[in-house]
Structures are given as C-alpha cells and as structure tokens.
Structure 1
Amino acid sequence: MASVLVASAAMAAPAPKVPPVDQALMRDMVKTLASDALEGRGPSTAVEPKVLDAIIARFKQAGLQPGNKGGWLQDVPTVEVTASNVSPLVVTGGAQPLTFTRGKDFVAGSYRITPKTDVRDSELVFVGYGVNAPELGWNDYAGVDVKGKTVVILVNDPDYETATEDGPFKGRRMTYYGRWTYKFEEAARQGAKAALIVHDTFPAAYGWNVVESSWAGAQYFVQTPNDGMDQTEANGWVQKPVAEAIFAAAGQNLAQLTAAAKQKGFKAVPLGLKVSFSFDNAIRRSVSHNVIGILPGKTRPDEYVLYTAHWDHLGHCQADAKGDDICNGAVDNATGVAALAALAKMNRAAGPAQRSEVFLAVTLEESGLLGSEYYARNPIYPLAKTVGGVNMDALSPYGPTRDVQVTGGDKSELTAILQRVEREMGLAETPEDHAERGHYYRSDHFSMAKRGVPMFAVGRGTDLVVGGKAAGDAASEDYTNNRYHQPSDEYSDSWDFSGMAQEVELYYRLGRALADSTVWPNWHPGDEFRAIRDRSLAEAGVKTK
C-alpha cells in the first residue's frame, strides 16, 4: 500500500533545478502548426496527418518515447449530429396550447445517435437547479420520479447571487453543478426523457445569441458503444420569457419557484403540463487522434503525471475582410502544444523523475473537449494511478508578468504546491476574473478532474513586467476582441517568447514537484470531485488523509 505525504510537508523539499526553456523550439513549433499549410488544424480533415506528423517529429526531437503501447496515436472516434426539420415546441394541458419557435424561443438536440428524435406528450416537472450533491446533502430530485418525463432546470448554482464565495456552492464562483453539461448528465442519470434549461443572461454568463448560435449547427460527440442510448432523448434550452409563460399556464410563478429552489430541501414540482417536439438527425462518423508521449519514471514508473494541451483549431472559418478563411490558432493552441515539447525537452535534460510523465496533445477541444474526454473514458494510463497534471491552453505572446492567475480557485491540495512555486519564482497570485463563468469546467483538464484527477489550470496574469496591469489588460482585451477564433490569430516573428518561457518554467516546476514527490493530492473536503478521488485512490491502494 502506497504512503501519502500531505502537500505542505512535501513542498518543504528543495526546489528543483530548472533546465532552460528552448524558446527557439517553441517558436519553430508555433510557426509550423499555425502556418497556412496546416489550414487551421481542423480535426478529421485531409490535413490532420500533416499536423500529427509535425507534432510527433517535435516530440521525438524532445526525447519522448511513444506513449500508446509503442505507438504515438490514440484513435478518437467521434460522431457529428446535425438536427433538421425541427418542429415547434408545443405545451398542452393549460387553458390553451402554447407554441414556441426554434431559435427565437428554444433550441434542442439529442445526445443519442438516432435518425429521429420525437418527444411526445411528455410530462413537465420543475426540478429547481437539477442538482444531486450527496456531499452537500442537496438533492433536487429527492422524492420525485422523472422517468419518461421532461425536466425543467435553472442555470447555474442555487447561491450564484452571493457576492462572495461563501455558501454551499461557493457563492459567486460557479461549481460543476452550475454547468449546463452537468444538468443534462444528471437528468439522464435520473431517467428523464428530456431536459430543458431556462436561460437567464446573468447566471448563464452569456446572452441567448450564444445559445442559439451554439445549437444551430452540427453537434459533436465521442462515439460510445451504445450510441448514447443511456442519455436523455433530447436536451435543450428555453428563453426565460418562454419559461414564464409555461409556468403561468401551470398556475405557477417562475420567480417564486426560483426563490424556493435556492433553499436546501426544495421539492420538485410537477407542472401538470405536457410537452411535444421533434427533429431529424443527420449523422456523420469520423476518427481523429490524440498524440501521446512518455518519459518513464525512475522509481515509480506505474504512477503518472499528466501534461495536456489541445492541438486542434477551427480549420477553415468565416473569411475576414481580406478573404482569409483560415483560423490558424497560433495562440489557441499552437502555443500549448509547443509548451508540451519544451517541457518534454526540459524534463529529459533534468533526467528521469521518480514518476512517469505523460505528454498528451489532444484533439477536438474546440468541439467540446472530445479528445480529452475520450482519453479520460479510455485512459492509456489508469486514472487511479494518475497523480495529477497540468493543462496548457493559449500562452500569450507578451512579456513576463509579476503574477499568476488561477482558474477554479482553491479546490485541492495542489494549492500548496502552487504557492511554493509562486514563492520560488517571485510571483503574486491574482484572483480569477469572472469566477462566476465557470472557466475551470471549459478546458481539457476538466475531463480528468471530473473523474477525480486534480489538475492545475493556471497561467500568467496580466500584470506585465513592462507596462504593468494596464498594458496586460489591454493586450488581453485586444486578443479577445480582435484575434480569438478569428483568422487574425496568426504567428508573428515579432512575438516575444520570454513571457511564454516564464509560463513554461511555471508548468515545469508544478509538474516536476508532482513527479519527484510521493504526494497524492486530493480535492478539499466538500469539493464536487472529492468523493470520486477517494474511491480511485482506494482502488489504487493509496492511503488518504
């Protein structure tokens, strides 16, 4: 049975010697991956083999070994589903039928791979925030049978209006229970036929236009042996005024029931109405690939530390005013893949760590974290033996900063490691911007985290050494407004890689601290991922505190 040191004790060990960051390697890799020749790195397109070859070549040069039973690639089978012939959403059982239009009033799709979805006369049940959190003693489904019924769910957490992070669901900071993906997953576990989330701009953190556009085209999923038949038949969103009209037809008041749903012990409310809607599904199957390399550990090679970054981007996209329709994805995320290669070279130069280090360039992040999700469902290295990891997404081409920003807040014992590394590097920690938006649950580390593996999601802040916070905030805003997911996210020879080198050093120190220690970090008590980590560590024979 393996022993465990608490994180604070383990971090008293001397800081590691840090090999230099190969900025030339990173520059060459970003320039290559973001070139027009690779056409924006669209997954499952004719250009994908060229992208994979470029990554594998750099992984080999950095000294990695093939990470999947002697091979570099892991197949990621995916399915694309496009809804068409979407009927109106019709609610009956009130004084008169209510009819709502797709796009303007509601959106819907199916996680099931089936040519036709038909929800017919399904009873509507309001289940508050749709949360089942045993560790918090909170279950919005307690005492109600929703099998075969359509649940109506509020977005975000019950205490999202709290200005601070106090409260069972961390107040203003969104938890996993507030994410719309969780709500659909829990509805399926409860046996619901369909699930409809009530959109409200502030708790959702985006307007209806985002929902409408996101659900208008093809939806992408990881292929499963049962073609998603364990999921609800349909999932969707309704505008808040639509929900208000439905509740009024049931003789209920949405605002009053919303207030009730914020209280522990809330009981689900059958609305006495039925809903019907249908649509056809066009289905296309394809295969993309994750790239996996490894540096075997010296004394505990069957324990693993994970470094992740997504290689995919949007491929050809909407053309700009100059007619350029290639979304090159230089920052997002050629920089992260370049960081993987640089980290591999640094770790190889430092010599084998005590634990094995796995370098995973995943596909289909832009389509819903599908590459990391597939790996997490089908891990090459057991998640119960994966100590923790570092995810890297979009390193900015600006100079070094004085601060580090943490996504997700203080969720786990990884915080003790981060705080030590911050001291070593002379960096301050800056609070996360817009903690209410749940960014921790929107990048590849989340696929591992929700299965119990603690993952760092950190990066440089915006307090630039040259120019301060004003310059850093301006640069960040410029990228978000003028480059993010646009053809203008391109590599430039004028880029300053010294800031990225600082960030890679941060990642090296974090990962190496895990790889050279006997620590098995856990989530803090009460965190939504604590229970599953406890179970996985028990399976691995690891004693927890």
Structure 2
Amino acid sequence: MKRRDLLETWVAAAAAAALPAAANSTVALMHRAQADLRRLQAHLHFLADPLLEGRETGTRGYDLAAAYVASQFAQLGLKPMGDAGSYALPVPLRTSRLAATAPSLDLCRGETCERLAWLDEFSTRPDLSVLHSDVKAPLVFAGYGITAPRFGLDDYAGLDVKGRIAVVLSGRPPQMPSTEGAHFGNGRTKAELAARHGAVGVITLATPRSEIVAPFHLNRQFADNVAMDWQTPDGRGGSDIPGLRAAATVSVQAAPKLLAALGRDYATLVSDAEAGRPLPRGDLGLVARLVRHSVHGQARSHNIAGLIEGRHPRLKDEVVVLSAHLDHLGKKGDTIYPGAMDNALGIATLLEVFRLLAHGAAPDRSVLVVALTAEEKNYLGSAYFARNPPVSAARLVANVNIDMPILLHDFKDVVALGAEHSTLGDAVARAAADLGLGVAPDPQPEQSRFTRSDQYSFVRQGIPAVILGPGGASFDTKEDGNALMRDFRRQRYHQPGDDLGQPFHWAAVQRFAQLQWGLAREIAQQPERPRWLPGDFFGDLYGR
C-alpha cells in the first residue's frame, strides 16, 4: 500500500471511531481551564524525536507526524474535515530540484563577461516551470523594488523594466511600520510587482541588514533542497507569477559588480537607502544571463483538519481557524533537523488548546484546527488551504497562527503581529490581561515575521489574522528575553541544534498554551464578527 493511501485509511478509521465522543461531549467549561504541561511535553517529545527525521513535507517522517496529529483529533472527538471522512486534506504538489550541472550567472558589459561564483557570489532556486531555463536580459536598478503610495515610495516611477531584469535591494526602508514593511519587503510581493511592470526576472542584492535575518552563506547549506509548489487541477503551479522567468540573489560582496554604473559605492548606496535618501535608479549597462537545469517531479502531502462546531444559532456558521505548521526541514545526509521549537512546540500548543476547547462547553462560533504542511516550502500548505478550504471561504472570519514561539524565558508580555490591523487586537489584549501579561511592539521588525508564516496566506484572502510570540520582558529580572531569542535565531534556527536538548522554559510553555486558549475563546465568543479596522492597509488591500 502506498504511504499516502495508508495515511488516509488510518486517519479515516481513527475519525470514524471518534465521532460518538464528539456527540456526547457535555463537560462544562471551567472559569479558566488549565493547560496540562505533561501533555505539552509529551507532544513535543514525540514530534521532535529523531524517529520522524525532521518531518519534511512529502516524507515518511511527515506522514508519521500527520498520523499522530490525526489520532489526537480523533481522541478529542473533532469532526473530520478531510476527504472520505478522514482528517487528511490532500495537497497536490509539483517538485523541482537543481540538476547536477550547477546554475550559472554571467554579467556582460559589451563583449566582456564575468561569471559569478555559484553559492559564493550568487544563489538561485530550481525552476518549477521548465526543465532548462536560459534567460538573458539587460539589468535595471529599481531601488528596493517597492511601490507604496501610502508611504511616499515608488521605485518604478519613470523606469522601463519591460523585458528586463529588475535589480532590487533586499528588504524595505527601516522607517516603514513593521507589518506593512514586511509586506512590501516580501520577495513575492516584489516579484509580482516587477512582473506587472513587464520584468522577466528579479535579482535581489543582499545587504548588511539582510545578512542578520538570512545570512547568504546558508544558501550553500540548503542548495540541494527540493522546491515545491501546489498544483492546480489543470497542472499549473499555484504560485506561478506569469512572465517572470528568472530569480537570483547576489551576495553583499558581489553586489558592487552589478551597480558600478551608478557611480556610488555599495555601502554608501545602502546607507542612503536605509536613511530614506534618494537613490540613483536606471539602466546598469549590463546584460545578465541566468542558466538553470532542473529535475521535475510530483509529490503529495496533507493538511490535517478537524472542527469543533459552534452552538450559537447564527454565529456557528462563522469559523475561526487555528493553525500551526507540522513540517520542518527533514535531514541532510545523516544530519536530522528536528525542528523542536520550529514547529513541534507550535503543534503541541495547538493540540493542547484544542483539548481545552473540546472538553469545555462548545464555543458560539465554530473553530477549525489545521496542522499545515509545507510551511518551510514557502507556506504552500496554508496557501492551498486558504484558497481551497473545507468549508465555504465566506465562513472563515479569523485566523490565529502558531509558529515557533521561542519559549526560553519567563515572558511577561506578548508580541501580537497583525493585531493592530483588526478587531483581533482587542481580543489579544483581553486574553493577555487575563493572565497578567502586557502587549509589546515587535522587538525585531527587521525579521519581517508577519509575512514569513502561514497567517499571511489568510491575510491575502482577506481574512484578519494574528500570530503571537513572547515579548522580551521577563518575570525573572535576571533574564534578557530578547537576547535569548536573538541567540536562538542566530545559532539554532533552521539548524540541527533546534532539538529537545534546548533549555525550554516550561512555565512559559504552559502559560503560552493558556494564552492561546484564552485568545481562541475570546474570538469564538465575541458578539461581533472580527473585521479589519477602518482605513487599515491590509483591509483596503485584501479585505472582502
């Protein structure tokens, strides 16, 4: 029996066994249900165990994790929302990896050409559309590659990039607000904008600031990764950007080779950009040629979804989505990337929140829980789910996403990315206050976390969303929470060291689950449907 068939059969059987429990659930809701630390630890220890080999999408390790989550849903009596009475929602995927022949990027000025060094000076990803990609076009510098009238920025004003490759700085001006800046600095946002202007490709220049968030040298570590996209019924890639045929990143050290025609050294140019000073833009006098050879395939994975049906005659038709991604990076050779913090802990929290919800009185609104696949593949599982939900899309009213809560200190405040854009902010404040917690601003806006996880797939479909994480303040005055979180990101994020040997702060783990349960109850019980705030940027851009 094929692995995916085994998974679907198993979760269908588990779901069928669980249905009577859902019908007979009559346990009254306590004033404040208590998160069970032993359960949280048990989930975490199983999901981050080397047995699961890092839970990479499309592997046996991921399928084992998915079967585990489905079994927990069945025990809780959640209504199955997958195919054929199961919890499993198939996600059809196309795959691509780079062939043995390394990609090449040549820069030509007249008859003189220079080839950049693969993984030392440039990186690129496999092409998901064609097996052999050979794109040659002139280069045009477009600043950050952002058009944001609300913030007085239009990097494409007066530029002609049709049939050319846009060269852009990584990120966005630091003066932009955290979440709006995350949107405009997002690579996909930039690529879509460049394509709308007629560009055939985008080359992104690394900067000293981007090196803090995503060091260029890590491209070597993940060069052999399999790229994925979700597949439409007619075989197209769900994330395809029509017209865009080339994409690459150039290191800080090699970036000056592209910008010599501007007559300004790279460090000065980046400094001017970050200070909001005008930048020279235009033709760079270079023609670039990017060649890639890829090997294509197909894969299949699953989102795992279950429902607690609401009890209110009207509000039960509105659905709050609680999500967390189940996948991680898998293994490289014999080295396993366990993904304990990212995101075994998030799934453990999700399971405990739903246990508390399922064992209490049913909420007014329905609550849909989903363990998502392929977050580490550019959020494909959530993108597919948000566009193909198991209930009518119009019923989805809010998303609360849990991703990599770095719980290493006794946190006393919470960072709620996205809360300031909708009425979800009020629910966050009430849930936090109930535990004696404050709400703090994003301490690391340069991380652009709002667009780097699954909640953004829901935002792009017009659904208000929020993701919570611990703030830097601690009940223990000897702890520097921000320093501990920065150290994790620098030393263990997406590394084998994100394992069970880390010094988890167990009181914080329990408190975080308690907070997530309180927020879910707040949103599910509030009389008014969650909505974007009047004049909000994301509400105006994506609201429905």
Aligned mate of 1:194, from 178, 191, 201: 201
Whole-angstrom distance in 2 between the partners of 1:261 and 1:433: 18
Distance 1:219 1:532, change over 3 A: farther
Distance 1:145 1:54, change over 3 A: same
Q: Which amino acid aligns with 2:525?
A: D
Distance 1:250 1:133, change over 3 A: closer
Partner of 2:381: 371
8 Å CA contact 1:73–1:289 kept in 2: the answer is yes
Aligned mate of 2:246, from 220, 234, 240: 234
The answer as to 2:147 corresponding to 1:147 is no
Whole-angstrom distance in 2 between the partners of 1:486 and 1:260: 32
- The TM-score normalised by the length of structure 2 is 0.82
Distance 1:434 1:92, change over 3 A: same
How far 1:357 sits from its partner (Å)?
0.4
Q: How many residue pairs get matched?
A: 506
Aligned mate of 2:330, from 290, 315, 320: 315
How far 1:470 sits from its partner (Å)?
1.5
Q: Which runs of 5+ in 2 are unaligned?
A: 1-28
- Counterparts of 1:383-422 in structure 2 under 5 Å? 383-395=393-405, 400-407=410-417, 410-422=420-432
How far 1:285 sits from its partner (Å)?
1.8
Greater CA deviation, 452-461 or 55-64?
A: 452-461
Whole-angstrom distance in 1 between the partners of 2:306 and 2:391: 12
8 Å CA contact 1:155–1:203 kept in 2: the answer is yes
Aligned mate of 1:354, from 364, 367, 372: 364
Partner of 1:59: 73
How far 1:24 sits from its partner (Å)?
3.4
Q: Which amino acid aligns with 2:459?
A: A
The answer as to 2:521 corresponding to 1:505 is no
Aligned mate of 2:119, from 103, 125, 143: 103
Whole-angstrom distance in 1 between the partners of 2:439 and 2:32: 21
How far 1:253 sits from its partner (Å)?
7.1
Q: Which amino acid aligns with 2:328?
A: H
Aligned mate of 1:183, from 186, 190, 201: 190
Whole-angstrom distance in 2 between the partners of 1:266 and 1:508: 48
Task: Find the residue that maps to 1:148 and give its secondary structure.
Answer: coil
Q: Which amino acid aligns with 1:292?
A: A
Distance 1:45 1:129, change over 3 A: same
Greater CA deviation, 210-219 or 381-390?
A: 210-219
Partner of 1:244: 256
Q: Which amino acid aligns with 2:249?
A: W
Aligned mate of 1:273, from 268, 277, 286: 286
Distance 1:242 1:400, change over 3 A: closer
Q: Which amino acid aligns with 1:348?
A: A
Greater CA deviation, 282-291 or 367-376?
A: 367-376
Whole-angstrom distance in 2 between the partners of 1:344 and 1:379: 19
Whole-angstrom distance in 2 between the partners of 1:483 and 1:240: 23
Q: Which amino acid aligns with 1:284?
A: G
Q: Which runs of 4+ in 1 moved over 6 A?
A: 250-254, 260-267, 492-496
Partner of 1:7: none
How far 1:396 sits from its partner (Å)?
5.2
- Counterparts of 1:455-474 in structure 2 under 5 Å? 455-465=465-475, 467-468=476-477, 470=479, 472=481
8 Å CA contact 2:125–2:227 kept in 1: the answer is no
Whole-angstrom distance in 2 between the partners of 1:275 and 1:471: 47
Distance 1:315 1:100, change over 3 A: closer
Whole-angstrom distance in 2 between the partners of 1:101 and 1:202: 22
- The TM-score normalised by the length of structure 1 is 0.81
Structure with more of its chain in helix, by fraction:
2
Q: Which amino acid aligns with 2:132?
A: K
The answer as to 2:341 corresponding to 1:331 is yes
Q: Deviations over 1:501-534 (max 9, x none)?
A: 2111211221222111243444456654222443
Aligned mate of 1:288, from 301, 324, 335: 301
Task: Find the residue that maps to 1:360 and give its secondary structure.
Answer: strand
Task: Find the residue that maps to 1:410 and give its secondary structure.
Answer: helix
Q: Deviations over 1:224-254 (max 9, x none)?
A: 3324362511111123454433333477876
How far 1:375 sits from its partner (Å)?
1.4
Q: Which amino acid aligns with 1:151?
A: A
Q: Which amino acid aligns with 2:48?
A: A
Whole-angstrom distance in 1 between the partners of 2:214 and 2:62: 34
Q: Which amino acid aligns with 1:118?
A: D
Whole-angstrom distance in 2 between the partners of 1:331 and 1:406: 18
Aligned mate of 1:434, from 444, 455, 460: 444
Whole-angstrom distance in 1 between the partners of 2:73 and 2:206: 44
Distance 1:417 1:47, change over 3 A: closer
Whole-angstrom distance in 2 between the partners of 1:510 and 1:293: 19
Identity of aligned residues (%): 27
Q: Deviations over 1:369-392 (max 9, x none)?
A: 222222123222344432212111
8 Å CA contact 2:81–2:89 kept in 1: the answer is no
